Amino acid sequence: MSRTEVLKRYGLTDGSDLRVNTVREGDSPLHRVAISAPSAPLQAIVPKQAIELSIELRQVGEDELAEQISAAAHKAQRANNANT
């Protein structure tokens, strides 16, 4: 399985310059992991999904992207725990 295929399973678009951050959507107090490419709109997933995604990316050798997503997921989880 390729990186593109793994990302697609999570409804995400692959690109040459993916950016990973945490975001709050709208008025929601919950944080999500945002993954964006220059050619695609920002897409956000819940931290639990992001951790699963990072595991799958490691399995296909995408360690750097997996680490970025994992770090953002843990940051979002901490922010969400602080809001509860």
The pLDDT, as a whole number, for residue 49 is: 97
For the whole model, what pTM was predicted?
0.92
Which residues of the chain are modeled with pLDDT < 50?
Answer: none
The pLDDT, as a whole number, for residue 38 is: 85
Task: Report the alpha-carbon distance of residue 13 to residue 52 in Å, rounded.
Answer: 17
Helix, strand, coil percent values for the chain (each to nearest 5):
50, 20, 35
What would the pLDDT profile of 18-31 be if each residue is shown by its tens digit? 999 999 977 888 99
